[in-house]
Amino acid sequence: MTGSESVLNTVGEGPEESGGARAGQTLEGAGLDLKVDVPHPARMYDYFLGGKDNFPADRKTAEQVIGVFPNSRIVVRQNRTFMTRTTRYLAAEAGVRQFLDIGTGIPTSPNLHEVAQSVVPEARIVYTDNDPIVLAHARALLASTPQGRTAYIDADLRDTQRILTAAELHETLDLTRPVALSLIAIFHFIPDGDDPYGIMRHLVDLLPSGSYVSLTHLTADFDPAMREVERAYLASGVPMHLRTRAQVERFFEGLDLVEPGLQVVHRWRPELTDPAETAQDPDGGAGPDPAARAKAIPASELTDAQVSIYGAVGYKP
Ligand SMILES: C[S@@+](CC[C@H](N)C(=O)[O-])C[C@H]1O[C@@H](n2cnc3c(N)ncnc32)[C@H](O)[C@@H]1O
């Protein structure tokens, strides 16, 4: 999605151009308070990916994170291609037709529904996020194929009851049939005090047998500098809780791990990567755009320490 398609631009300047964005900026007509004076994970992620839907406070904290962990853009890019690979696997090989994606993020092509519907045009997708900027951009997520359907729920992962009882969920998905639940790069924003494993259990309990869960989670298992990343997020007011391999595995309790099990994400079926997603950018990956350089690095050349995010797909028997 380009800035010109965004709801933001219907109210004036795009965020990157409006360097002096005001605290408490709202989206006229939508009544959304973007709280642009504090960093938000969705907008920082957008910045790491080279997007334009971020504000000075997001860019400042993101640059601090890059300062302590220069591979940050590699992490988010590899995380994103894990999402597209697992979606392709779930639609093409596992035969899943319904997806519930919690922690969607600002639309970034290709979005989950675009990947799923390119394999199965009738696929149905429900997106969920708690950030008003994602809601503001939801139009791009609702551009379904005519045969399929997409919906958006404005909700917090911690409020599983709200998600599981939302009319949009039940109108879009048939919860008696298998669903792929995706929780990509979201649980590290849920500290232990918010009962992340209880949240996971509640969601998985609702899924019928034959369903799948794909999940990624940041870790400091391979590079202690990731603890500096955690500190930078916490210092800017964003909750962040890195977990070990054993702690990430615990999210999959009661599920069978699909081969190759829990991996640092670039090691999970790299052969399913669409060459277009790792294709060299016009500058050959050597130009001044650091987001483009991160995109251009083939997974086979990356180390676990550089990627530092676990991912797996679980199957509910
Ligand atoms: C790092 S982004 C990941 C985006 C996308 N899943 C991906 O991996 O490409 C994390 C997203 O989770 C959302 N998020 C964080 N905490 C959340 C919560 N408690 N409830 C709902 N969404 C949350 C953020 O707003 C952000 O859009």
* Model pLDDT, residue 294: 74
Domain chopping of the chain, boundaries:
3-68, 72-315
* Model pLDDT, residue 317: 98
CATH 3.40.50.11260 is held by the domain 72-315: no
* Model pLDDT, residue 32: 78
Give the integer Cα–Cα distance in Å for 6 and 136. Answer: 8
With residue 295 as reference, give the H or E element that holds it. Answer: helix 290-296
* Model pLDDT, residue 34: 85
Task: Read off the tokens for 133.
Answer: 């900027």
- Contact in structure between 22 and 36 (CB atoms under 8 Å): yes
Distance of CA 171 to the CA centre of its chain: 23
Query: Which atom of ligand 1 is closest in space to residue 216's alpha carbon?
Result: 8
**Ligand 1 mean position, distance from CA 129 (Å):** 6
- Measuring CA to CA, how many Å separate 90 from each of 161, 239, 264? 26, 30, 19
Q: What is the DSSP string of 225-284?
A: THHHHHHHHHHTT-------HHHHHGGGTTSEEPTT-SEEGGGS-GGGS-HHHHSPPTTT
Which residue's entry shows tokens 């360097």?
19
pTM of the model: 0.91
* Model pLDDT, residue 300: 87
Give the integer Cα–Cα distance in Å for 314 and 215. Answer: 8
**Ligand 1 mean position, distance from CA 292 (Å):** 22
Give the integer Cα–Cα distance in Å for 43 and 189. Answer: 14
* Model pLDDT, residue 287: 60
**Ligand 1 mean position, distance from CA 108 (Å):** 13
Asked whether 199 lines ligand 1 (CB < 6 A), one says: no
Chunked in runs of 10, what are the mean pLDDT values of the chain (317 residues)? 36 36 46 88 95 95 96 95 97 98 96 97 98 93 96 97 97 98 98 98 97 98 98 96 98 98 97 79 58 78 96 98
* Model pLDDT, residue 286: 52
* Model pLDDT, residue 30: 60
